[in-house]
Structure 1
Amino acid sequence: MRGLFVTGTDTEVGKSVVAAVLVATLAARGVRVGAFKPVVTGLDEEPEPGKPADHELLARCAGMAPADVAPLRFGPAVSPHLAGELAGVAIEPGALAEAARRTGAERGTLIAEGVGGLLVPLTSDGYLVRDLAVELGLPLVVVARPGLGTINHTLLTLESARGAGLDVRAVVLSPWPQDPTPMEASNRATIEALGGVEVVELGRVAGFGGAELAAAGSALPLARWLGDDASP
């Protein structure tokens, strides 16, 4: 299956925006791309002004129905395993993986977005986001903050990913400021050197429309990340 799995070093690091940028950029280049997010939580929370819920944003970029992007959707802003327990819903890992594969087969290219970080449990018996990434076998893109604390969080994520055999293609620091501080510049260089990974920056997006997201991703080396230099 051709595609990428987008994970974060934590929650609220801009992972959904980066995933949407990838989908919108590929779509703008004429690639038939699907989006997948196994579980969405926090739908009871007041959304950020102008920003749709994660699955709605991805659906808009991919030209899909939101329910087809995220098969499981919960109101409370809690871990997926707890959200399922509170709702009385048994989360079935096999069904999630099959839904992702189906979208990938239908579309040809899949951008899958995890939930929080790699070690977030999807089920109460310990099936992690990392386990789903391993099952899907997609190369990994890690989204991280540029500021204080990101070196530790990012290197731990890289170690966790590689320990499970995942192929990490890049770290995306987001949102990258127009005028980075010496600390932010040092964080970038340190992660690249100590993590042995390509690090790229993604600035704050101008808006959440497809054209704006695609413009933000225009310089990203998606062909290389996808392992197909002949791709658009």
Structure 2
Amino acid sequence: MTVTFVTGTDTEVGKTVATAALVVALRAAGEQPYVIKPAQTGMAEEDYGDLDAVRHLAGPVPGHEGVRLQAPLAPDTAARLEGVTLPDLATQRDAIVDAEAEHHVLVEGAGGVLVPLGHHWNVIDLAETVAHAGVPVRFVVVARAGLGTLNHSALTVQAIAHRGLEVGGVVIGSWPATPDLAAEQNLLDLPVLTGVPVLGRIPQRSGLMSVEEFTAAAAGWLTLPAD
């Protein structure tokens, strides 16, 4: 199987809805997805989290969370302030590798690609350790539609590629109903500047859809990265 790491150019760019759309697209392609959220912040234990949101949109899907922290900060910072010991890199890697034996695993990061998910490690470090375990790994980068996305997307792709890891493409996490000139031109410029394709656009407010509406439409929003 394969492990796809879903990362963002920043926080609040639509990673969770993009992850749900990837679940739908993978199912349509005959694969069995499994969703992992290694760390989530700004959440109490009883709160509705990102994995809940994926299931609300895409329907039942196996998966698990690594840890929840209440402070809306980077996981390493929130854990330090709350006196919590985060799962270490090896523990997170082993959970992904175990799930990958029977599923196409989607790992949704927290914030941007260099945000620490644990003590001095980020989603690139996690992907690298999974790759070193002999598992096929790739990234999907979720980006904004408008001004600023060219720089943020290129920096994110370069940071991943610098570690010798594959980027399958970029997904626009929230495509406006009436895109402005910048958004329209970014569709042309993103592949040139990043060197990877735009895999698709998630329509704005898709996260408010019912599961029936979302699962009927989502596979048409994306092209899965080529193996």
Q: Secondary structure at the match of 1:13?
A: coil
Give me the TM-score of the superposition, normalised by structure 1.
0.83
Q: Secondary structure at the match of 2:34?
A: strand
For 2:28 and 2:186, locate their aligned partners in 1 and report how far apart those are by CA, in whole Å.
Answer: 32
For 1:206 and 1:35, locate their aligned partners in 2 and report how far apart those are by CA, in whole Å.
Answer: 17
Q: Which of 99, 115, 119 is equivalent to 1:103?
A: 99
Q: Which of 94, 108, 119 is equivalent to 1:113?
A: 108
Cα drift, residue 165 of structure 1? 1.0
Give the alignment of 1:86-97 within 5 angstroms.
86-91=81-86, 92-97=88-93
- Residues 22-63 of structure 1 show CA distances to partners (whole Å, capped at 9, x for unaligned) of 11333355532110110011115xx8xxxx420212355463
Q: Which moved more, 1:174-183 or 1:147-156?
A: 174-183
Q: Secondary structure at the match of 2:220?
A: coil
- RMSD of Structure 2 on Structure 1 (CA): 2.1
Tell me which residue corresponds to 2:160. Answer: 161
- Kindly indicate whether residue 129 of structure 2 is the aligned counterpart of residue 130 of structure 1: no
Change in Cα spacing, 1:96 to 1:59, as seen in structure 2 (3 Å) is: farther
Matched residues, percent identical? 35
Tell me which residue corresponds to 1:26. Answer: 26
**Unaligned segments of structure 2, at least 5 residues:** 132-136
**Unaligned segments of structure 1, at least 5 residues:** 228-232
> Is residue 203–residue 216 contact of structure 1 (8 Å, CA) maintained in 2?
no
Tell me which residue corresponds to 1:55. Answer: 51
> Is residue 118–residue 157 contact of structure 1 (8 Å, CA) maintained in 2?
yes
Cα drift, residue 2 of structure 1? 1.4
Q: Secondary structure at the match of 2:71?
A: coil
Q: How many residues get paired?
A: 215
Change in Cα spacing, 1:197 to 1:30, as seen in structure 2 (3 Å) is: closer
> Is residue 24–residue 211 contact of structure 1 (8 Å, CA) maintained in 2?
no
For 1:197 and 1:74, locate their aligned partners in 2 and report how far apart those are by CA, in whole Å.
Answer: 34
> Is residue 33–residue 61 contact of structure 2 (8 Å, CA) maintained in 1?
no
Q: Secondary structure at the match of 2:208?
A: coil
For 1:212 and 1:98, locate their aligned partners in 2 and report how far apart those are by CA, in whole Å.
Answer: 35
Q: Secondary structure at the match of 2:111?
A: strand
Change in Cα spacing, 1:43 to 1:197, as seen in structure 2 (3 Å) is: same
- Structure 2 counterpart of 1:131, one-letter code: D
For 2:83 and 2:6, locate their aligned partners in 1 and report how far apart those are by CA, in whole Å.
Answer: 28
Q: Which of 74, 77, 101 is equivalent to 1:79?
A: 74
> Is residue 25–residue 213 contact of structure 1 (8 Å, CA) maintained in 2?
no
For 1:221 and 1:149, locate their aligned partners in 2 and report how far apart those are by CA, in whole Å.
Answer: 24
Cα drift, residue 226 of structure 1? 5.3
For 1:30 and 1:183, locate their aligned partners in 2 and report how far apart those are by CA, in whole Å.
Answer: 36
Change in Cα spacing, 1:213 to 1:165, as seen in structure 2 (3 Å) is: farther
For 2:226 and 2:35, locate their aligned partners in 1 and report how far apart those are by CA, in whole Å.
Answer: 15
- Structure 1 counterpart of 2:69, one-letter code: F
* Runs of 4+ more than 6 Å apart: none
- Kindly indicate whether residue 179 of structure 2 is the aligned counterpart of residue 177 of structure 1: no
Q: Which moved more, 1:7-16 or 1:113-122?
A: 113-122
Tell me which residue corresponds to 1:230. Answer: none
For 2:74 and 2:193, locate their aligned partners in 1 and report how far apart those are by CA, in whole Å.
Answer: 30
- Residues 64-87 of structure 1 show CA distances to partners (whole Å, capped at 9, x for unaligned) of 57xx52121111111010122223
- Structure 2 counterpart of 1:135, one-letter code: T
- Structure 1 counterpart of 2:126, one-letter code: L
Give me the TM-score of the superposition, normalised by structure 2.
0.85
Q: Secondary structure at the match of 2:116?
A: coil
For 1:211 and 1:133, locate their aligned partners in 2 and report how far apart those are by CA, in whole Å.
Answer: 33
For 2:111 and 2:82, locate their aligned partners in 1 and report how far apart those are by CA, in whole Å.
Answer: 20
